[in-house]
Each structure stands twice: as C-alpha cells, then as structure tokens.
Amino acid sequence: MSSNPTSQEALASSLQQTLSPNAHERKQAEQFLDSMEQTPHFVVLILQLVNNQATNENIRFAAALYFKNFVKRRWPQNEDTEDTLSVEDRKAVKSEIVSLMITVPKRLQLQIGEAVSIIAENDFPEEWPELISTLVSKLSATDYHINNGILQTAHTVFREWRSAFRSDRLYSKINYVLSQFTDAYLQVFVTTDRLIGEHAGNGAALKVLLHSLMLLCQIYYDLNCQDLPPFFEDNMDQFMQTFHKYLVYSDPGAESDDDIPGDLEEVKASICEIIDLYAQRYEEEFKQLPQFVETVWSMLTTVSASHKYDIVVSRGMSFLCTVVRNPRHRSLFAASESLQLICERIIIPNTALPTNDEELFEDDPLQFVRRDVEGSEAGSRREAAAALISGLLDQFATETTQVMSQYIQKGLAQYAVNPVANWRDKDIAMFLVTSVAVVASVGSLGATR
C-alpha cells in the first residue's frame, strides 16, 4: 500500500490532539476525523499509521484504537445502513492486516486483533478464503515471535466459536479451518514442546515458548468447543500426554517473579479448561480422565496460596466439580477418607478471604460487596470452592454435610477463643454454612434450592 506522507502527518496530528487535555482541541480533532471517514482509502491510511514504526507509540496506539472502532462501526454490511467502505479498501485491509498483527507490539496487537475478529466474523470464509492459508504460510520453524503473532491472530478468529450457537454455517466454517490448519498446528505443537525441553533453565527463551504453548492450548479449546473433530480424536493420546506433562511441569526459569499469573500459570489454567471441556462433552472418548483427576487433585493440595495461582486453582477445582457431579465417576470420591481429604486439603485452604479482598473491603466496601454478589469474571478460589462443595452435595449430601459441619464448628470455636484475632475463622465458617445450605443458585434469583 502506498501512502501520502502529508495525509499521514495530518492524521497523526489529529490523533495526537484527541489525547489533548484541552476539550476544544479534542473536539476539533474528532470532528476532523469524522469528516475524513467518508474519504476513500481512509481506513488504509489509519492502518499504515499503525504500522509506521517511526511514529510516536502513543499515536500508533490511538490509531489502532481508532481503527478497531472504525471497523466495528463500518465494516459490517446490512440493508439498513449505507456501505461507505469500497471493495478496494476492504481488500487492501484484509491483504495487510495479518502481516500487521505479526509485527506490531502486543499493546497494539490486542486492538488490531479485535478488528480482525470483527472482519472474520463478517467475511470469513466466503469473502476472505485466503485467511487460514496466509496464517499457515507465515508460520516459522525458528522465529517464535512471528509464530506468537500468528497464533494470537488465529485465536482471535476462532475464540468466537466458544459462545456461538450451533448452525450449519458455523460447522462449515470450523470444518474449513480444520481442513487447512490442523496439520500445521500439530507440527508447531510438537516443535514447541521439544524446544521447551531444549531450553530448560533459559528464562528468556521459555517466556516466548510458554506463551506459544499457552496460545496453542487456547486454540485447542477453540477448535474442540463445539464438537470433537476426528483429527483431535485420532491424536488424543499425543495431545493428552503433552497436556499432562505441562500440568506438572516446573522450571525456575519459567516462574514469574511477581504475583501476577505468568505464561506457565496460564498454560496450566488452559489445560484445566480443556480437560474440563472433555469431561463435560467427550467423556466416552476421554480415556485419560482418571489420570487427570489424580494429577489435578495432587496439584491442588500442593499449590501455593499466591495470587498468581488463583486461575489455576479455580479451573482445577472446576474440573473436579465437573467430574464429581457425574454419577459414573462416583467411585473416585466415594471413600470417606477421599471426601475428608478434598475438604481438608482442597476446599478449606481456598475459602480463606484473600489479602487483596481484605484491602478492597477497607478501601472500597461497596465495590467489595458488588463483586461478592456478582462474582469475579475470572473466577475466584472461593467461588470455585463453593461450586465444588455444591458438586459434592449432589452426590454425597449426607457425608459432605457431616464433614463440613466439623469445620464449621471448629472455626466458630476458634473465633470464640479470640474474636479479634480469629475473625477469619468465623468468616470461613460462615462461608461454609452458606455453601452447604445453598445447593443451587442463579445470579438473577439467588438461592433456588
């Protein structure tokens, strides 16, 4: 795409003014941009500005954000609105946007990725049949920075299937992707696993490779969320063996230094999400389920209380909850010592009020109550523990109630000894009371059983 430097400078200047603290300047810039939207090649010009490495990073981000919102407003075509985007501009955007996703920084990638998702939702595969072949052709055997951009783009396109209603069009789209993507996907999956082993202890390399593995896990879920494709059923042993390996994987070079989930934690959380899906939807084909139950059980009894592991613990308990609710797996939990261990080693440690929640309660009580009522988007340890209790009550109501009653009485007794110092014991006891008492609930109605 060729560009007019003068037009690009004017566009950059206007986007810079949209960041101004002066309301008058912002309004003038917004009016100018609104008037420019009707001109031919405007969307191409914005994309070029995002790709211009000589441009100030804040302006590039403003351009990426504007491009995403522009695509959201004007790309979909329907009978009620006039189509102001020419076929030429649409083709130009689609021919360049994949390469752009691969090269821009992650901060810009997230904005461009949303635009890719909107374009794919409207045009793929009928008006954009070359998308998957373009992604596959750009995969590299050595450059995983490029691969991560490609995998992120693929995930951006595929993730919409997770919440989509089943339809012939959706299944045709998924089958179209599977026919072109799966062989390359398996090759990258195997290579990534091998390279992680070869770079043990190399923190810089592992950071890139584990991010790739995390994206590969997310794409695996995307491609399996609607139905179990024959390709993944045929290669299930290989995939599940690798997933199990990384569920117990540990390397000092892969550990994140802060309290925020790193790529390794995201990988383990994604694997728990995958096996939860398989336990719910593809139980008959999922022969490795008992092995994963044992591994997740063991992992949850040893994982740290650090905030960065919250997502792993939450999804791990969600998997156990799915399994325990299934009467066919009742024998895995039927022993009295099994219930005792689940309650003592998994549920109770994850019902304590986290330190960051205590701080939120002190700083913003209303926000704390709102989040407690509405629930956390990512899922908290407490929510997962309550769901696991509910699952146990489904199959072992009497036994679970008896075990929980012991911990409720113990917590209240500890509180009575020193109410000021042991208020957390009472909080845990009250949480367990509500978890045992409320067998079923929905967000809009509250407790229903």
> What are the residue ranges in the chain where pLDDT is below 50?
1-2, 5, 440-447
The answer to whether the beta carbons of residues 436 and 400 sit under 8 Å apart is yes
Tell me what pLDDT residue 378 has.
Answer: 54
Q: Which of 115, 8, 17 is nearest to 52 (CA)?
A: 8
Tell me what pLDDT residue 331 has.
Answer: 87
- List all residues 6 or more positions away from 29 whose beta carbon is below 8 Å from its beta carbon: 14, 15, 16, 17, 18, 20
Tell me what pLDDT residue 358 has.
Answer: 82
Tell me what pLDDT residue 252 has.
Answer: 86
Question: How far, in Å, CA of 377 to CA of 379, rounded?
Answer: 6
Let me know how long the chain is.
449
Instruction: Note the pLDDT tens digit of each residue in 113-128.
Output: 999 999 999 999 999 9
Instruction: Note the pLDDT tens digit of each residue in 275-329.
Output: 999 999 999 999 999 999 999 999 999 998 888 999 999 999 999 999 999 999 9
Tell me what pLDDT residue 442 has.
Answer: 44
| CA triple 148-154-155, angle to 5 deg | 90
Tell me what pLDDT residue 445 has.
Answer: 43
Measured from the Cβ of residue 155, the count of other Cβ atoms closer than 10 Å reads: 19
